[in-house]
C-alpha cells in the first residue's frame, strides 16, 4: 500500500474534474442510492486543488453532520453557498452573469447603485441563494472552484424555474464563464436533462443472489476515456468507496515476511483477517469448505486465497497437503510464497502431489509422488499423516478441483469420499477451490460445512457466504498488519 491516499470515487470522475477548464456532471438516481454521499466524497477528493461550495436547499448543516460524522473535520474546506446570500461586491463581473440576469428578468446589464456601504441593488427577480453562490465563486477567481448543487430540482422548485433552464444557466455562467466545476444532483434517474451536462453518472440499488448491491454507471464524461463504465460501491461508515480494476493488482502490495494470525476460540484462521471475521473467527476443525469461483474471477484472487491459507498454516508450524489450482507445479507455488515464509519451513511442512513421471524437483521433500490414476489410492490419510508426522495439528488439505479433474476425471468426489471422512474424523481441515462450471461443484456443495462464493461484476470482485449466509463483500488488495493482503469491504 502506497503512502498516498487512495481515491475513493471512480478515477475517471477525478480526472474529469481535474482536466483544464470547467466541467459539469449530472449525478442522478432514485432516493437513497448514495448521490449526496458521492457529492460530498467528490468534494473531499478535490479539496486539495479546488475551493468547494456545497448548496443544499433541503438539508441543514446539522442534518449533514448527523448523517456524515466524518464531515466535522472537513468543514473548513467546504463553504455552504447560502452563507454568501448577503455578500455584495462593488463591481460584480456582470458580463459572466448573463444567464443569471435573464433568470432575474433583466434584459441588459444589471443596474448597480453604490451606496455608502457599497450596497448593490439589482433590479429584477430576487434569486438570493443563487446570487450568493455566484458571489462565493467570484471571491475566489481566478482560482477554480467546485460547486455542488444538491439538488437542482429543489433549487428550481424554490424559484419556480424549470430544471432545464436553471441547469443551462449555471452551465453557461459558472462552467463556461467562470471556468469552474459544477456537480448537479438530480432527485430521480430521469434522463431528460442528460444532454445539458458534460458528464452523467447514474446511481442504482440492485439485487444480486438475494443480496443488495449498489452500482454507479458512468454514461458520459466529455473529453475523458471511460475505462470502467460500471462500479460497485459501498456506503460503509458514511463514505462512498468504489471498487474497480486498479484495486485488484496484488503486485502493488510489497512482499514482507509473514505475520501469522493465531486461532480464535478454537477456530483456525484462513490467513485473511477480514475473511476470518465473516466466518466468526475462521474455519472449524473437522470442516469441509468450498470456495466457488465464478466466471472471470482473476487468477490473482484465487492465488491469494490459496497462498494465504497455506502460508498461515506454515507459519503456525502446521502441515499442509496442497494441490494447486491450474495445475501449477510444486516449484511455481513454492516460489510464489518464498518472500513470505522461510524455504526450510515450506519444505518441512508442505506436501504437493505430482505424478511420478512429471516431477521436476527430484528428491525435494515438499513433492509427494503419486501415480495419478486413482485419487482413492493416491490420497490416503495415514500416508499424509506419516509424511507430516512432525508438524502440528490440525492438518490442512487445499485442493484445486480444476487440477483434480484433469488428473482423475469427473467422478473425483466419489474417489475422495474415504479421505474426506478421515479428514473430518481426525479434526483436519479440507478446503476445495472449484470453478462454478466444475462437474464436482454441486456435489461439493452437499458435502461442505462452509460455502463461499466469489463472483465478478464489471471490475469488482465480490465474495459472499452461502453457509453461513452473509452480505456481499468487495474483494481487493491492501497491506495488512497480519496475514494476507486480501481486504473485504461490506457493500452497505
Q: What is the pLDDT of residues 344-365, one digit of tens each?
A: 999 999 999 999 887 777 779 9
Q: What is the pLDDT of residues 450-483, one digit of tens each?
A: 999 999 998 899 999 999 999 999 999 988 999 9
* More confident of the two residues 19 and 60: 19
Q: Which has the closest alpha carbon to 236: 60, 76, 41? A: 41
When mean pLDDT is compared across 1-15, 88-102, 330-344, the lowest value belongs to 88-102
37 within 8 A of 238, measured Cβ to Cβ: yes
pLDDT score of 116 more than 80: no
- pLDDT value for 93: 55
Residue that has been written with the C-alpha cell 461442505 in this structure: 448
3-state secondary structure the chain: CCCCCCCCCCHHHHHHHHCCCCCEEEEEECCCCCHHHHHHHHHHHHCCCCEEEEECCCCCHHHHHHHCHHHHHCHHHEEEHHHHCCCCCCCCCHHHCHHHHHHHCCCCCCCCCCCCCCCCCCCCCCCHHHHHHHHHHHHCCCCCEEEEEECHHHHHHHCCCCHHHHHHHHHHHHHHHCCCEEEEECCCCCCCCHHHCCEEEEEEEEEECCEEEEEEEEEEECCCCCCCCEEEEECHHHCCEEECHHHHCHHHCCCCCCCCCCCECCEECCCCHHHHHHCCCCECCCEEEEEEECCCCCHHHHHHHHHHHHHHHHHCCEEEEEECHHHCCHHHHHHHCCCCCCHHHHHHHEEEEEEHHHCCCCCCCCEEEECCCCHHHHCCHHHHHHHCCCCEEEEEEEEEHHHHHHHHCCCHHHHCHHHHHHHHHCCCEEEEEEECCCCCHHHHHHHCCEEEEEEEECCEEEEEEEECECCCEEEEECCCCCCCCEEEEECC
* More confident of the two residues 147 and 107: 147
Percent of the chain beyond pLDDT 90?
68
Q: How confident is the model at residue 115 (pLDDT cuts 50, 70, 90)?
A: very low
465 within 8 A of 284, measured Cβ to Cβ: no
Across all residues in the chain, what is the average pLDDT?
86
- pLDDT value for 128: 72
* More confident of the two residues 50 and 89: 50
What dihedral angle (degrees, nearest 10) is formed by the CA atoms of 36, 38, 44, 49? Answer: -110
Q: How confident is the model at residue 94 (pLDDT cuts 50, 70, 90)?
A: low
Long-range contacts of 210-219 (CB under 8 A, 24+ apart): 211/464, 211/471, 211/472, 211/491, 212/471, 212/472, 212/491, 213/457, 213/462, 213/472, 213/491, 214/33, 214/34, 214/491, 215/457, 216/10, 216/34, 216/38, 216/242, 218/10, 218/12, 218/13, 219/194
Q: What is the pLDDT of residues 376-416, one digit of tens each?
A: 999 999 999 999 999 999 999 999 999 999 999 999 999 99
Set of cell numbers at residue 334: 513454492
At the fourth CATH level, the homologous superfamily of domain 250-490 is P-loop containing nucleotide triphosphate hydrolases (3.40.50.300)
When mean pLDDT is compared across 3-12, 22-31, 169-178, the lowest value belongs to 3-12
Q: How confident is the model at residue 79 (pLDDT cuts 50, 70, 90)?
A: low
273 within 8 A of 482, measured Cβ to Cβ: yes
- pLDDT value for 247: 58
Domain locations in the chain as residue ranges: 11-243, 250-490
Q: How confident is the model at residue 4 (pLDDT cuts 50, 70, 90)?
A: very low
Q: What is the pLDDT of residues 295-330, one digit of tens each?
A: 999 999 999 999 999 999 999 999 999 999 999 999
Q: How confident is the model at residue 251 (pLDDT cuts 50, 70, 90)?
A: low
Tell me, yes or no, if the two domains 11-243 and 250-490 fold the same way: yes
The fold of 11-243 is: Rossmann fold (3.40.50)
- pLDDT value for 55: 87
Q: How confident is the model at residue 87 (pLDDT cuts 50, 70, 90)?
A: very low
- pLDDT value for 61: 59
Amino acid at each position: 500500500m502506497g503512502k498516498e491516499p487512495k481515491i475513493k470515487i471512480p478515477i475517471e470522475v477525478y480526472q474529469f474534474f481535474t482536466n483544464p477548464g470547467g466541467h459539469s456532471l449530472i449525478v442522478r438516481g432514485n432516493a437513497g442510492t448514495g448521490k449526496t454521499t458521492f457529492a460530498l466524497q467528490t468534494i473531499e477528493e478535490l479539496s486539495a486543488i479546488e475551493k468547494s461550495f456545497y448548496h443544499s436547499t433541503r438539508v441543514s448543516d446539522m442534518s449533514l453532520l448527523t448523517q456524515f460524522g466524518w464531515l466535522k473535520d472537513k468543514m473548513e474546506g467546504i463553504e455552504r453557498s447560502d452563507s454568501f446570500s448577503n455578500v455584495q461586491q462593488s463591481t460584480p463581473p456582470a458580463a459572466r452573469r448573463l444567464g443569471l440576469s435573464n433568470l432575474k428578468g433583466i434584459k441588459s446589464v444589471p443596474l448597480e447603485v453604490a451606496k455608502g456601504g457599497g450596497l448593490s441593488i439589482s433590479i429584477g427577480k430576487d434569486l438570493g441563494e443563487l446570487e450568493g453562490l455566484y458571489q462565493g465563486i467570484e471571491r475566489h477567481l481566478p482560482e477554480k472552484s467546485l460547486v455542488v448543487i444538491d439538488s437542482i430540482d429543489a433549487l428550481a422548485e424554490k424559484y419556480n424555474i424549470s430544471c432545464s433552464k436553471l441547469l443551462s444557466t449555471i452551465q453557461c455562467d459558472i462552467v463556461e464563464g467562470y471556468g469552474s466545476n459544477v456537480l448537479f444532483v438530480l432527485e430521480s434517474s430521469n434522463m431528460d436533462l442528460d444532454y445539458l451536462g458534460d458528464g452523467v453518472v447514474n446511481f442504482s440499488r440492485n439485487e444480486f443472489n438475494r443480496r443488495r448491491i449498489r452500482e454507479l454507471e458512468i454514461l458520459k464524461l466529455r473529453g475523458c476515456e471511460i475505462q470502467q463504465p460500471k462500479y460497485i460501491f459501498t456506503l460503509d461508515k458514511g463514505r462512498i468507496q468504489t471498487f474497480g480494476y486498479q484495486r485488484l493488482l496484488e503486485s502493488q502490495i510489497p512482499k514482507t515476511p509473514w505475520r501469522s494470525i493465531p486461532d480464535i476460540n478454537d477456530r483456525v484462521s484462513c490467513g485473511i483477517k477480514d475473511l476470518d471475521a465473516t466466518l466468526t473467527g475462521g474455519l472449524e476443525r473437522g470442516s469441509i469448505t468450498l470456495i466457488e469461483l465464478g466466471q472471470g474471477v482473476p487468477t490473482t484472487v484465487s492465488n491469494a486465497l490459496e497462498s494465504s491459507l497455506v502460508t498461515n498454516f506454515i507459519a503456525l508450524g502446521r502441515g499442509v497437503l496442497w494441490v494447486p489450482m491450474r495445475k501449477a507445479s510444486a516449484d511455481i507455488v513454492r516460489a510464489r510464497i518464498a518472500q513470505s515464509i522461510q524455504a526450510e519451513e515450506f519444505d518441512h511442512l508442505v506436501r504437493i502431489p505430482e505424478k511420478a513421471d512429471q516431477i521436476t524437483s527430484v528428491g525435494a521433500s515438499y513433492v509427494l509422488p503419486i501415480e495419478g490414476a486413482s485419487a482413492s489410492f493416491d490420497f490416503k490419510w495415514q500416508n499424509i499423516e506419516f509424511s507430516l508426522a512432525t508438524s502440528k495439528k490440525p492438518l490442512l488439505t487445499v485442493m484445486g478441483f480444476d487440477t483434480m479433474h484433469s488428473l482423475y476425471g469427473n467422478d473425483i468426489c466419489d474417489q475422495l469420499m474415504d479421505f474426506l471422512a478421515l479428514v473430518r474424523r481426525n479434526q483436519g481441515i479440507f478446503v476445495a477451490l472449484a470453478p462454478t462450471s466444475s462437474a464436482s461443484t454441486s456435489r461439493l456443495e452437499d458435502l461442505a460445512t462452509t460455502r463461499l462464493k466469489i463472483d465478478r461484476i464489471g471490475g469488482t470482485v465480490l465474495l459472499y457466504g452461502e453457509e453461513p449466509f452473509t452480505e456481499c463483500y468487495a474483494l481487493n488488495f491492501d497491506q495488512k498488519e497480519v496475514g494476507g493482503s486480501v481486504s473485504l469491504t461490506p457493500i452497505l
